Every structure is written in C-alpha cells, then in structure tokens.
Structure 1
Amino acid sequence: MSSILIIEQILNGLQFGVMLFLMAAGLTLIFGVMGLINLAHGSLYMVGAFAAAAVAGVTGSFLLALVAALAAAALAGAIVEMVVIRRLYNAPHLDQVLATFALILIFSEGTRWVFGSFPLFLDIPDALSGPVTLPGGIEYPLYRLTLIGIGLAVAVGLWALIERTRLGIQIRAGENDREMIAALGVDISKLYTLVFALGAALAGLAGALVGAIQSVQVGMGEPVLILAFVVIVIGGIGSVRGAFIGALLVGLTDTLGGVFLPELFKLFMDNGAAQKSGSALASMGIYVLMGLVLIWRPTGLFGARA
C-alpha cells in the first residue's frame, strides 16, 4: 500500500473530522450550558444545506450560499429555542427527547413541502475546484483542503470566543451555575437563545459545506447527528476542546478503518468477503473507540470528573 494513499486517507479523515466538529461543537455547547438533549440538531444541519443550495441556485454565488446557510440555521434555531425548547429546560430528559424528535419530523416534512422530495445539488465554486499538488507530488482536491482550513479556523474562533470574551465567560459560568449568573444580572433567556442560535449556525455551516460534495436531501442530518453524539461522548459532554479532539479521532477512525481493514482481510479471504467483512468491522470502529475511552475515562477525554 503506497504512502500517497495513506496520506490521502488521513487528509480525508481530517476533513470528515472537522466537519463533525462543527456539528458536535454546537451540540456540546447546548447540552453543557442548557442541559438539553437536542435530537433536532441534525435538522438544523439539513436547513443550512437546503438554504445554501437554494441561494446558490438563484444567485450562483457560493459565498452568499454560506451566508444564507448560517443565517437560516441560526434563525431557525432561535425560533425553535424561543417557541419550543424554552419550555423544556426543567422537563425530564425523556420529555426533551420526545419533543425534539417531534421537531425532526416537523423539519423533515416542512422541508419536503417547500423543496420537494428530490435531492438538490450544490456545486463546488470554480475557484476551489480541481486538485492541488502537495509536497511529495500528492494531488488532493482543493475544496477538501479548504474544508479542513475552515474547520480549523472555526475551532480557533470558537476557542477565542469562549476563553477570551465576556460572552464566553457567561457561557462558561452558565455551564457551572446558571442560577448564580442569573442572580448577577445576566439575562439567562437571551444567553440561552444566543447559544442555541450559535450551535444551530455551526450545524448549518457544516451542512452547507458538506452539501457541495454530496447531495442535499431530506433526512441527511440524522446520520451525522449520531456521529456527533459519539464525538461528544468521547470528548466529554460540555467540552469544546473535547469535541474537537473527539471529532478528529472519529473522522480518522471511520475513514482509515473503511479503507485499510478490507485490505487487511484480503490476506485471509477472497476479495468479496474481505470487502464485506472489513467494511462491517470498520463501521463498528468508532463505537469500539467510544467504548474503550469510556472504560478508561467514563466522563470522556475532557469531561469533568464526577
């Protein structure tokens, strides 16, 4: 197996990981600050993808499509928080799960009503199409490299927001003692709406970026949501740093396992059986990783110890 293939798959894993981080970061912020289990987070990913595809189809501008994805997902998140989620903060987790599952159905049917059942397609902009030559003569798609760069930039920006700004202080305080910051004069309702909209915007951005390399269709957010939950369990609930590390681990494990495990199985069986067995084992890899992490540290890599 060539070193070029290995490097290409590592880059693919990094690209997948940083896109998962955009989903998981918003999810872990919402759970950490509000204590809310939000199953509808994947629907906000879908909203961003559809908004981007629709605006790009009308204007032909990929940049405007990204802006539309951020705005649409943030607006949808803010409305959902004010209309539905605000009534669930003191409810049992089962009620939160049922209510946000109902939101999945509403978003799915509403999207199908507006855009139809057929998938939409978002073209990669001309400036980012084609391959770029990396050191060692490796050709890799420029758009996927751009996704890695955007994901890393968002991670740095999110870290700066949480660690270096007044809003970040309020978010971190809200994770530890929401009653105290409310007593100190912070409008907790506005803070919750802002955090929910920020998490929704990150999910919408991920949907728009990924929408250019796969079709945009109803229900596209749910498989990504499952992986995002795995990410925050591995990284530690409420930890943005944990979400970033966990997302990279999941991305690399899923991508490298899917490529190299079938090759390993070919040493012991025919190609067809090797591909089937290797792919099946690779799909289990991230859950095995999650299990090993939880055995070692039940609160996740960067979660607070009990």
Structure 2
Amino acid sequence: METREFSVCSGEEKMRLDMFLCKHLPHKSRSYVQNLIENKRVKVNKKIKKSSYKVNCEDNVIVTLPDPVEMNIKGEDIPIDILYEDTDIIVVNKPQGMIVHPASGVYTGTLVNALLNHCSDLSGINGVMRPGIVHRIDKDTSGILVVAKNDNAHNKLAQQLKDHSMTREYIALVEGVLKEDNGIVDKPIARHPRDKVKMAVVHGGKRAVTHYEVIKRFKSNTLIKCVLETGRTHQIRVHMAYIGHPLVGDPVYGYKKQRFRLDGQLLHARKLGFVHPSTGRYMEFETEIPDYFKKIIDIIDKGHV
C-alpha cells in the first residue's frame, strides 16, 4: 500500500475534505476519493473525518492508497454500435437491457466487457470495474455514451459534465397529457429515505435540473424531449414521476399496472454533444429511437389502446 501526506496551505482552508483530496489526487475521481474516506483510509491530524469535513490551514492529511487490483474483468465478443472512434474517444449507441459497467455480482455482458474486447486502451481513472466510463445511462435506457480511451480525455470530458457544458438530450414517452408545452423541474435528488433501491426528490439532496418540451400529445400519453442540466441517478425518471407523469414502462417509478409488455422505461438518450478533448472541436451525435419505442408510439397514435 502507498501512503501520501498533504498539508493544507493558504487558500485551501474550508475546502471539503473530498474536494481537497481531488485537487491533490488529480487522476482519481471524486467517488474514488469518497470511497477512500468511507473506508477510513484518510486521516486528518491522525483522526478519521467525513467527506464533508472542512479542512483548516496546516491540517495534516494522510491517505493510504490500496494496492492496485489486478484487472479481472474480461473482454467479451458482444456486438456494439460504434458511432465514432479515434485515439481519444469512442461514441457508442447502447441498446436497452445492457448494463454499462460491471458491479458487485455482475461481471459479464456489460458495455465495458464489449469495449475491452474491442480495444485495450481505455482510461483507468475509474478503476478496473469502470475503465473508460465517463458517464452512465440506466440498463433499460438506450442511447448515446462517450467513452474515454485515455486519462487526459477522461478528465476533460468529466470537466464538461461537471460544468454542464455537455449537451445531453433524451426522448421519453410519459403517462398522461402534459398541459404546458415546456417546463423545468428543479428539485434535489437523493436516495429514497425508505427504499434504498430507489432515488427520490429529497430536501437536502443534490441539485437536479431537467428541462422538458412536448413533442406530441396523445389521448393518454405525451412524447417529450428532455435536456439534462445535471446528471443525477435516474434523474428524468424521478423528476417526471414527481410531477405526475412517470415514464411508460418504468418498473420502479411508473404505474404498477402497465398497458404494454415492455422490458423497461421508454427513454432514449438521443443526442450527445461535447468538445473533443484533443482537437477542441465541438462534436454532436444523434440517433433515432429504437424500433420497440417507435412501435408503441405507433400503437397509441392509431388509438389501438
């Protein structure tokens, strides 16, 4: 194990402990740093502190970094729809039903497994379980993701997510008929206080902002475009359910009794735009909604339900 020691300098006082460490461990993600703190691998003046602790001038911060874990996630010959690729990035169109990266108990069949079979040069910032993964979409949400092939690309893309300059547009079919042509849901999201599987609008949660616009109204549904200003877990699903219009097919936040036999929510990450990490050129990618999504729209448009 490697031990690193840092002193808090002038200008750094009152920073959160996790943010202070992110500054001094620039190639580690904030979630990685928070995990170190939660696992008591960080001491301030020889005492365990929480991520929210505000450091003081001349505090002594000692971090014990775990030994690197040998890569045990294997590449698999799984077809992937690659929209663009160069030496820095891969842009993929993920199908519904595919998990983005391995997690506890799930080590095969993910997008990461497919990517590792396609190429070996993925960024290592997020560790062995999430190589190259800058952002995620839910298993049953389809659409566009950008993957980093090196740490420099990863850091620059992650910064765009952080400063909300990355364009992320989704198409969703929701229950009910929205009255307003457009709107903004600005409500904080956190883990549900009673059901840890779910997220919820919770006072004191992380700020979450979703912009929505009506594309087409049907008798009992509305097709909408959603643009993310922030990127919280299940954000669109939680926000639309909060305003009384859950996504069609959503097994967690949707109606208990569903009219269609679907494998998950009708949500598609249609458009993704960002500044290329090396060239500085703005790039934008767009895909059509999947056939199963189109089929449901056609059914309700013709009044068959």
Same fold (TM over 0.5): no
Which category describes the TM-score, using the shorter chain as reference length? under 0.3
Higher relative contact order, structure no. (Cα contacts within 8 Å, ≥ 6 residues apart) = 1
TM superposition score normalised by structure 2: 0.26
TM superposition score normalised by structure 1: 0.26
Structure with a larger share of its residues in strand? 2
Structure with a larger share of its residues in helix? 1
Larger radius of gyration: 2
